[in-house]
Chains A and B, each alone.
Chain A
Amino acid sequence: MREVPEGQPIPPAGPAPAPPAVPFSASRTPLVQWLLSPIALIPLLLVAFVAIFLLWKSQLVWFGPSFFGINYFFDPTGLQPNQFGVTLFVVDSLIVALPALAIAAGLSLAMAVSIVVYLPPMPGRVLTILTNLLAGIPSVVYGIWGYVVLAPYFGSTVQPAIFGFLGWIPGLGGPLSPGGVGSLLAIFILIFMIVPITTAVMRESLRSVPHDLVEAGLALGATQWEVMRRIRLRVARRGLWGAAFLGLGRAIGESVAVAMVIGASVWIPPNVYAPSTTLASFIFYQLDSSFYYPVLLQALIEFSLVLLGLAVLLNLIGQRASGLGTTVVVTGGNGP
C-alpha cells in the first residue's frame, strides 16, 4: 500500500481496469471466416457444374443398354445405325492403365522405402525433387518424346526383346507393331506420369507411421528392413492403396500423351504391342471430327461423363484411403 495524501482523490492502484468481459453469447466468429467459408464449396460446385453442363449438352441421347455395350461403330454417312458402346474404351483404358500402375507402384514403393529409411537426408531430398519434377513436365512433351524418340526404338529393340524373353506370357506374344506405337509405349509413358503422385503419397504414408512403433521394433532387435516389412508397411497399408488408386485415376484420365503414342485403333488389342486406344485419348483425338457430326459430339460428351465419374470415384477412394486432407492418427495405447 502506498500512502495517499489527505484530501486528494485516490489514484487507481495496480493495473488498468480490465475491459468489460465478453458475454458468453457474443459471436466471436471473425468476418474473415464468414467470407472465406463459402470458398470451401468452390471445388464441389465446379465438379457439379461440369457434370451438369455435360449432362445438359449431351442430353444422354445414347444412354441406354447399347451405350454400356462393347460395340463401337460410327458411320459418318448415317446409312447404318451408330453404336457408341463405352465399355470397349474402358477395357482398353484398363489394359494400358493397370500394367502402368503395377510397374509405377512397385517403383514408387521402392523409392518411398529408400527415401524414408535407407537414404541419407540429402540424396533423399534430391530424389524427391527429381520425382516431383517428372510431374511438372507437360504431358504433350512426354507425348512428342514418345512419338519421335521412343517409338522407333520400341519398334526396333524393346518389343522384340520383350517378345523374345516373355513372349510365352499371354498378351506378350506377337505379332509386333513395327512402328513402335501401341499399348506398350503408352504404358511406358504413363509410368513416368504416375510415379510422382504414387511416390509422394506412399512416401508420406510411410513417414506418418509413428516413430514410437519403429523404435519399439528396433529395440526388439529387428533390422530397419524387418521393421519396414512387419510394421511400417502394415500400418501404412491404407495409404499405400490410396496411392495406387490416385495413380490409377491419373493413368485413366491422361489423354494427350497417350493419344500421341498409342496408335488410335478402336478395338480390343490382341496383345500389348498392338495399337489401341483409351477412353480419354479417344475423346481427345476424335474431337475435331466430331464438330462435323453432332451425333458423335454427343457421344463423346457422354464418354466424358463416364470418364469424369471414373476419375472422381478413383480419386475419392484414393484420397479416403491415403488420408490426404485428413489427419490419420495411428497410435498404440488407449489410456490406462
Chain B
Amino acid sequence: MNGSPIASGAPASPPSPEPPVVATEHLVVRSRERVILNDVSLAFPDRDVTAIIGPSGCGKTTFIRTLNRMTEIGSGLMVRGRVLYRGQDIYARGVNPVIVRQRIGMVFQRPVVFPMSIFENVAFGLRINRVDEATVERTVESCLRRAGLWTEIGDDLDRSGLTLSGGQQQRLCIARALAVEPRVLLMDEPTASLDPVAAQKVESLLFELRQNYAVIIVTHNLQQAARVATRTAFLYEGRMIEFDETKRLFESPREKLTENYVTGRFG
C-alpha cells in the first residue's frame, strides 16, 4: 500500500463538499502485546453512511470504539494520533469522554436492552441529562418513530424492553442512541445477531438515518456494505488499505488485497 495515494497520511477521503464530521489522523492503537491499528487516517462525511469492512481481527471493532473513546473502558489500550470531531481532537487534554459519547453514539453487535420499560430505555440518556418530563415524552416518541418501532409497540411502552424480539431490541437500542441527539452513530455489526428479516429492517432504517446523521457501520457482511454505504473503507491487519466510493471499491479496487478480499479469496 506504500506509494498509493490514499495511504499517504493525510485524511483519506474521496472529494466531498462538506468538511468531515469525524476524522482520524495517524491513529495508532496498541495493547501491551501488539499493535492493533497502525497509522489509520480516515475522514467521515456528515449525513452519510460509511462502512468499514475487513476480515476478523483486522481491528475494525477497535477502530470504531476509538471514535467515541469506548476503548478506554477497562481495555488498557493505548491510543496515539488524533481523532477529530468537527476539527476538535477528542483525545485532547480536558475533553470529557462523557460529552464525546453524547455527540457520538454507539450501537452494539448484540442488542443491549436495559432491564426496564421500553419507555425508560429510550429515556435513559435524557434522564441523566435531567430533561423535563414533557420533552422526554416527546423525544421518546419521535425516536421510536425514527427507529421504525412506534407503529409496532407505540401503545405498549410500559412493557419491559426485554420482552421484545431481537430485531425490535436492536431498533430500541438505536432509538435510545438517537434520544441523546448525537451527530454521529457508530454501529458495530448491528445486524450480526439478527435473523434476516430483522436485519433487513435495521438496514432499511439506515437509509432514513443517513439523512440526519453520519453513520459509521462496521460489518463483515460485504453485501450489506454494498447496499447501505456510500463509502467503504477496507482494513487489513490494522492498516487502512483502501477507502473509496463503495461501488468503486467493490468493482474496481486499486489494491490487490482489497480485490482479493471483496472477491472472497480470503477473510
**Chain A interface residues toward B at CB < 8 A:** 211-213, 215-223, 226, 230-231, 234-235, 330, 332-336
Contact = CB atoms under 8 A, between A and B. Distances in A.
A328 to B, nearest CB: 13
A76 to B, nearest CB: 60
Name which of A221, A235, A332, A333 has the most chain B CB atoms within 10 A of its CB: A221
Given A215-B112, A216-B173, A334 B101 contact: no
B114 A216 contact: yes
Nearest to B100: A221
B124 A230 contact: yes
A334 B162 contact: yes
A133 to B, nearest CB: 27
A217 B166 contact: no
Interface of B: 68, 70, 73-74, 98-99, 101-102, 105-106, 108, 110-116, 124-125, 127-129, 161-163, 165-167, 169, 173, 176-177, 180, 193-195, 198
Contact of B68 (A211, A217, A219): A219
Nearest to B165: A336
A230 B54 CA distance: 36
28 contacts: A212-B108, A212-B110, A212-B112, A213-B112, A215-B70, A215-B108, A215-B112, A216-B114, A216-B173, A218-B73, A219-B177, A220-B101, A220-B124, A220-B128, A220-B177, A221-B105, A221-B128, A221-B180, A222-B124, A234-B116, A332-B110, A332-B115, A332-B162, A333-B166, A334-B162, A335-B166, A336-B167, A336-B195
Contacts, number: 88
Given A230-B127, A333-B169, A218 B162 contact: no
B105 A219 contact: yes
Contacts of B74: 211
A219 B70 contact: yes
A333 B101 contact: no
Contacts of B129: 221
Contact of B98 (A221, A234, A333, A336): A221
A336 B163 CA distance: 11
A220 B108 contact: no
A216 B112 contact: yes
A220 to B, nearest CB: 4
A235 B160 CA distance: 14
A219 B106 contact: yes
A332 B99 CA distance: 25
Given A216-B108, A221-B125, 16 more contacts: A212-B110, A212-B112, A217-B124, A218-B73, A219-B101, A220-B101, A221-B129, A222-B124, A223-B128, A230-B128, A231-B114, A234-B116, A330-B115, A332-B111, A333-B193, A336-B195
A211 B108 CA distance: 12
Contacts of B128: 220-223, 226, 230
A212 B124 CA distance: 15
A234 B74 CA distance: 21
A218 B70 contact: yes
Contacts of A231: 114
